[in-house]
Amino acid sequence: MVARVRNLFSKKVGLGMGAIIVLVAGIALFISRSGDATQPMRFSHKAHLKDAKCKACHADYEKQAAAGMPRLEHCVDCHDGTQSKGAEDVKEEEKLAHYAEKQEEIRWVRLYRIPDHSLFSHRLHVVRGRLECKTCHGPIEASETAPRRPVQAISMDWCMSCHKERHVTNDCNTCHR
Ligand code: HEC
Ligand code: HEC
Ligand code: HEC
Ligand code: HEC
Ligand code: HEC
């Protein structure tokens, strides 16, 4: 009798655990599908672009394929104390000093990334092609908080339709090697 009860009990617990596992897996899948990026700290492009050019923080686009994500050294170039006035902003800014103390990079989550089988160069598009950042990244200069997803979805069709419009080659092996 005791054994049967225990058996029943463990079956119920088993079912309960099963349901929880399914639920947790479901939530994890939902989060990964929705693809929303949560950044390690607050950041406003709008507040910064009054004084700074894009290359103050994305240092590589004139010379390289990558535009470059901001490194801590770019932030502490300007942030030597408190640049902000509001209490909330000052609190957020203090995080920079903590990162600097620990000599730790801020791990920004990247939103724009094409697969390794495809080639893209910022230098080619921005310097040689003279395209503006916002043609491909939308009005990021107006964002007051970090965007949680790409403003412009990147797909092969999107690359190719601009190339077609501007009479740039669409040979498969210019973008795939
Ligand atoms: C003072 C530093 C700073 C300046 C100046 C700056 N950015 Fe950023 N940028 C960041 C930070 C920090 C992030 C990551 C957090 C976020 O998305 O807000 C970022 C993210 C981005 C991203 C998303 C990259 C990815 O794949 O996740 C794009 C695109 C971008 N910036 C474009 C620009 C453009 C265009 C300009 C100039 C008009 C510019 N940024 C100026 C600091 C800066
Ligand atoms: C060109 C100088 C400069 C650079 C580079 C710079 N900042 Fe700032 N930052 C400022 C100034 C000035 C303010 C105050 C802006 C205001 O209140 O109008 C500020 C404000 C802030 C604030 C509070 C307001 C907000 O955006 O939420 C945070 C947080 C911040 N900066 C983070 C960063 C990070 C992270 C980096 C590096 C990716 C960075 N800053 C790079 C000059 C700079
Ligand atoms: C022709 C479209 C196009 C233009 C113009 C463009 N980008 Fe990008 N950007 C992309 C693509 C595509 C990626 C993803 C690249 C990859 O995964 O290799 C990207 C990625 C990025 C990233 C992520 C980090 C990195 O190193 O790649 C940043 C930051 C960025 N761009 C900033 C800029 C800035 C700043 C400008 C203007 C100076 C700019 N982009 C102009 C298409 C563009
Ligand atoms: C808004 C327009 C636009 C978009 C979007 C765009 N490109 Fe381009 N692309 C250009 C232009 C213009 C050039 C020619 C630059 C030059 O040499 O003057 C070019 C050139 C290139 C080249 C070099 C072609 C050659 O002649 O060797 C490659 C590779 C390339 N793009 C890849 C991509 C990829 C990959 C994407 C998407 C992730 C993309 N482009 C999206 C406009 C665009
Ligand atoms: C202008 C650049 C460009 C050209 C030209 C181009 N591709 Fe792509 N291709 C891309 C990019 C960027 C991706 C990745 C898109 C993404 O992340 O969804 C891609 C993805 C792919 C994929 C993977 C599809 C997937 O769902 O992951 C295949 C296969 C492919 N391309 C084949 C081709 C073939 C075949 C041609 C010639 C007819 C071609 N591509 C021409 C840029 C290009």
- pLDDT tens digits, residue range 166-177? 999 999 999 998
Q: Give pTM, 2 decimals.
A: 0.90
Q: Which two tokens stand for residue 132?
A: 């503006």
Q: Of all protein residues, whose CA lies closest to atom 37 belonging to ligand 2?
A: 75
What residues line ligand 3, using a CB cutoff of 6 Å?
A: 54, 58, 61, 66-69, 110, 112-114, 120, 122, 125-126, 131, 133, 135-137, 154
pLDDT surpasses 70 at 68: yes
For ligand 1, whether the C-beta of 137 sits within 6 Å is yes
For ligand 4, whether the C-beta of 119 sits within 6 Å is yes
For ligand 4, whether the C-beta of 124 sits within 6 Å is yes
Q: Of all protein residues, whose CA lies closest to atom 6 belonging to ligand 5?
A: 172
What residues line ligand 5, using a CB cutoff of 6 Å?
A: 114-115, 118, 154-156, 159-160, 163, 170, 172, 174-176
pLDDT surpasses 60 at 25: no
Give phi and psi for 139, each to the nearest 5: -80, 60
- pLDDT tens digits, residue range 71-106? 999 999 899 877 888 888 889 999 999 999 999 999
Between CA 24 and CA 32 the distance in angstroms is: 12
- For 134-162, what is the mean pLDDT? 92
Using pLDDT thresholds of 50, 70 and 90, give the confidence band for residue 35. low
- pLDDT tens digits, residue range 44-61? 999 999 878 999 999 999
Q: What is the model's pLDDT at position 16?
A: 55
CB 84 within 8 A of CB 94: no
pLDDT surpasses 90 at 14: no
For ligand 1, whether the C-beta of 62 sits within 6 Å is no
Dihedral sign (CA 129, 130, 133, 134): negative
Q: What is the model's pLDDT at position 82?
A: 75
For ligand 1, whether the C-beta of 48 sits within 6 Å is yes
- Which ligand approaches the C-alpha of residue 115 most closely? 5
Which residue, 69, 166, 154, is CA-closest to 118?
154
Q: What is the model's pLDDT at position 151?
A: 84
Between CA 45 and CA 141 the distance in angstroms is: 5
Q: Out of 31-35, 80-84, 129-133, 150-154, which region has the weakest mean confidence (pLDDT)?
A: 31-35
- For 136-165, what is the mean pLDDT? 93
Ligand 5 atom with the smallest distance to the CA of 163 is 1
